Amino acid sequence: MFFDFIKDLRRRDHKPRFGGLDILKYIGPGLLVTVGFIDPGNWASNIAAGSVFGYELLWMVTLSTVMLIILQHNVAHLGIATGLCLSEAANKHTPVWISRTVLISAMGASVSTSLAEILGAAVALNMLFNIPIPAGAILSFVFVAIMLLTNSYQKIEKFIIAFVSIIGLSFLYELTLVDVNWVAAGIGWVKPSIPAGSMIIIMSVLGAVVMPHNLFLHSEIIQSRQWNLENEKVIKRQLDFELFDTLFSMIIGWAINSAIILLAATAFFTHHTVVSELQQAESILKPLLGNHAAVVFGVALLFAGIASTITSGMAGGSIFAGLFGEPYDIHDSHSRLGVIISLVVALLIIFLIRDPYQGLIISQMVLSIQLPFTIFLQIYLTSSPKVMGKYVNTLTTKVMLLIVGAVVIFLNIKLLISLF
């Protein structure tokens, strides 16, 4: 839906028409990014957080979402103001050794993301049809690869997003049917707490929400809304509407991720149930759907896995194409190769994983380790007058971004200390 016309849109000189419903034209990039962080990796991380620590780690969803809004809004500005995605801008405006180091590590993050998404879809096929996970991973890989490489995914993209959104809303609705301790939840949302043994899960929640590949993806797909980079009125309107799109989409993601933790705390933590596999999590839907919960959960997990694998593959293509100074274009060899690398390497690693549930959690933790590299690359680019011109970061924005980067580094250091 977004990418076939990006290059053409950059060249065309459309006259801007602003009306009361114009904001609807700008809604979409943020929602596509949101699909990426209500994926199987998120489900596993949130279920682990709620089942092991109850409401205590809800603050991490709040903190991660605030950081996510700041970062995604800023990287979208890069795409709008420059006509370049984060990967292209890095290739053009930073020394080769910096751009290569960060972008290659970002490809690793894309692989880690694709691993979680393909693995989640494979777990869903196992739940629904008793297909072995390796075989399910191959089927998921083939299906997504065909959709991406032929662009046929565009025909069902809206339906996938709509379906996953409905399932997310069902999690929210179920909160009205279960006995949530709202006082404890309220405290959990705003009071930082690091219980013993929680750092891996904390970092997996961070990596599951603030995902490096989504920063690259958002800066690319936001350009599908561009008309004329030389028309300042158009750029200003885009910047204003992009903020609404980002806030709207990220708040939806915060609500859904919070709901999964709350439901896991209610279904597992309060009953002292240890979750060792994602299949157990279908029980959090039983108050809403009864005995059909496993089927609905499995179908939702399958669609979430497929949808988010598509976005991680796109991100891989965008990152790899940027290494050659090119925008994402699935008809271009570099973009196709980036998609293939992201998906194939992830599939190969899945064959080596013995515990799919732990594999999902660790894959999200890996994302949080790469995250500082992408964040500080982004800060450098968006704070450079040479890159951004008059749309360069204000001092306030730069300070907020540096605080976000410092928090991520602090949490990574805490993780390292906890491991040793």
pLDDT at 134 (0 to 100)? 92
Closest CA to 371 of 115, 44, 68: 68
Q: 274: buried, middle or exposed (CB in 10 Å: 19+, 13-18, 0-12)?
A: exposed
Instruction: Output the tens digit of pLDDT for each of the chain's 420 residues.
Output: 444 434 443 434 444 444 444 444 555 565 666 666 677 777 888 888 998 999 999 999 999 999 989 998 899 889 888 888 899 999 999 999 999 999 999 999 999 989 988 988 998 898 889 899 999 999 999 999 988 888 755 565 666 667 667 777 777 777 777 788 999 999 999 999 888 888 888 888 887 778 888 888 878 877 654 444 556 666 666 666 677 777 888 888 898 889 889 988 888 888 787 776 666 776 666 665 566 667 777 787 888 888 888 888 989 999 999 999 888 888 889 999 999 999 999 999 999 888 877 787 788 788 888 889 999 999 999 999 999 988 899 999 999 999 999 998 998 888 878 766
Other residues' Cβ atoms within 10 Å of the Cβ of residue 195: 13
Please tell me the distance from the alpha carbon of residue 237 to that of residue 229, in angstroms, as a whole number: 12
pLDDT at 176 (0 to 100)? 77
Other residues' Cβ atoms within 10 Å of the Cβ of residue 139: 16
Structure tokens at 22: 């114009």
Structure tokens at 270: 């309060």
What HEC string does the chain produce? CCCCCHHHHHHCCCCCCCCCCCHHHHCCHHHHHHHHCCCHHHHHHHHHHHHHHCCCCHHHHHHHHHHHHHHHHHHHHHHHHHCCCHHHHHHHHCCHHHHHHHHHHHHHHHHHHHHHHHHHHHHHHHHHHCCCHHHHHHHHHHHHHHHHHHCHHHHCHHHHHHHHHHHHHHHHHHCCCCCCCHHHHHHHHHCCCCCCCCHHHHHHHHHHHCCHHHHHHHHHHHHHHCCCCCCHHHHHHHHHHHHHHHHHHHHHHHHHHHHHHHHHHHHCHHHCCCCCCHHHHHHHHHHHHHHHHHHHHHHHHHHHHHHHHHHHHHHHHHHHHHCCCCCCCCCCHHHHHHHHHHHHHHHHHHCCCCCHHHHHHHHHHHHHHHHHHHHHHHHHHHCCHHHHHHHCCCHHHHHHHHHHHHHHHHHHHHHHHHHC
pLDDT at 11 (0 to 100)? 39
- Find out whether 235 and 80 touch, Cβ atoms under 8 Å: yes
Closest CA to 158 of 56, 35, 337: 35
Please tell me the distance from the alpha carbon of residue 312 to that of residue 132, in angstroms, as a whole number: 23
Q: pTM for this structure?
A: 0.83
- What domains can be seen in the chain, in order of their start residue? 6-419 (1.20.1740.10)
pLDDT at 180 (0 to 100)? 87
Largest CA distance in the chain: 61
